[in-house]
Chains A and B, each alone.
Chain A
Amino acid sequence: MTELTRAQTLIEAADKDGNAQRYAAADLQRAHDEYADATRADGAGHYNEARDFAQSAEADANLATARGAAGEAKRAANELMQSNASLRAESNRAVENSVGAPPPPAPTPAPN
């Protein structure tokens, strides 16, 4: 069944990625459960039910992957922002020790 295969591929990719597990563990677990239900239904010959479960598993695996990527991007952005804040503070201390130097550029807003 095509839906089962697609769901399996997406779940495996999400498992491998690591970010889905870190930032969207519940979604990923749900995808696993739905995939198990799909496999079971398919085995029992309930193909429509199996197709629906596989579609849900695919949607949840896709969601887990997207949330994992978003979480990681936010983390990286936050880390760089904090690093910039430290760098700026260090730069400001240097400004205090020198006379007449203009201040460093203003910070960009932090990600949500």
Chain B
Amino acid sequence: MKYTLGLVIAAAVLAGCATAPPRDSALEDARAQVQTLSMEPLAQQAAADDLRNARRYLQEGDAALQQHAPPAVVDHDAYLASRSAEAGEARVQEAQAKAQMSAAQTERQDILLHSRAREAEIARSQADAARERAELAQQQAAAAQQQADSARLQADAAREQLAQTQQQLQDLQAKKTNRGMVLTLGDVLFDTGKASLKPGASSILDRVAGFLNDNPMVNVRIEGYTDSTGSADFNQVLSQNRAQSAAAALETHGIAANRITAVGRGPDMPVATNSTAAGRQQNRRVEIVFSDASGQFAQAQPQ
């Protein structure tokens, strides 16, 4: 039994020695290269010829080795297999580069498309902004036009108001002077030496008050004058009191006190001679000076 087992082991060892293939390092290196190439996903597609040639040279090398051919013969096959594998590797790289080229071309198209889309978007935005600016300008122009129209209407109204005011003053028989429009009231308003208004004064002062109510921007300065009869002090006080009486009468008609100034000028600035009765009557007077429509009086002094 022991003898039989020994024979089996010896036969197995001999069989193993008989089937072990001879090896050549150059051929094994080439085989590894071919193996690496065959693992490349693109090898079958891009390097089929090189791979086929490399495998054929490997087979020839194996056969030569098997037949105990000289090492130079085996090495030659290994060299050819190796170079074929390297050529196949280069063709795989070429295919990879071409694939990347193709991807880059697609990417370029994407970039260009994206860029054009963005340019269009920017152009749209700019057009929108320009349109908004144009609309704004149009609105501003319309507003300006409206303001101009409004100003023109106001100017027209002011002109009309001025004309109306002047007409009203003319109706009051006010006269145009370098002090502005002036209404002269004779001494019929007062008794001689008195400052209280006579009943007949009411009518004319009503009309003046009516005018002032119609023209709320117009102010008045009431100037009292006397003739030269009597003392200067008396005349000054009398003229002042008469002016104030007229002012008070206007206030009772609802004219605000701040629109009225009362001044006594005594016998100053006579409008006629004081040597005759008729002249003195003319000098005893009250003058109502009207401001312009903005409340301003002319700068000229009374003559």
Q: Which residues of A contact B (CB under 8 A)?
A: 52, 55-56, 59-60, 62-63, 65-67, 69-70, 73-74, 76-77, 80-81, 83-84, 87-88, 91, 94-95, 98, 101-102, 104-105, 107-112
Name the residue in B86, B97, B105, B112 with the highest tally of chain A Cβ atoms < 10 Å from its Cβ.
Answer: B97
Give 1 or 0 for each of B106-128: 1 = CB within 8 Å of chain A CB: 01101110110011011001000
| Residue among A52, A65, A77, A104 making CB contact with B115, cutoff 8 Å | A104
* Distance (whole angstroms) from the CB of A14 to the closest CB of chain B: 11
Closest-CB distance, A108 to chain B (whole angstroms): 5
Range for the number of chain B residues in contact with chain A: 20 to 34
Give the tally of cross-chain contacts (CB within 8 A). 108
9 extra interface residue pairs, beta carbon distance < 8 Å, beyond A69-B90, A80-B101: A56-B80, A63-B87, A70-B93, A77-B100, A94-B122, A101-B118, A104-B115, A109-B100, A110-B100
Q: Chain B: residues with CB nearer than 8 A to chain A?
A: 50, 76, 79-80, 83-84, 86-88, 90-91, 93-94, 96-98, 100-101, 103-105, 107-108, 110-112, 114-115, 118-119, 121-122, 125
CA distance A84 to B84 in the complex (A): 35
Name the residue on A nearest B92 (C-beta): A70
**Complex CA distance for A22 and B101, rounded to whole angstroms:** 20
Q: Which residues of A contact B105 (CB under 8 A)?
A: 80
Q: Is A73's CB under 8 angstroms from B98's CB?
A: yes
Query: By the criterion CB–CB under 8 Å, are A62 and B97 in contact?
Result: no
Residues of B within 8 A of A52 (CB): 76
- Least distance between A110 CB and chain B CB atoms (Å): 8
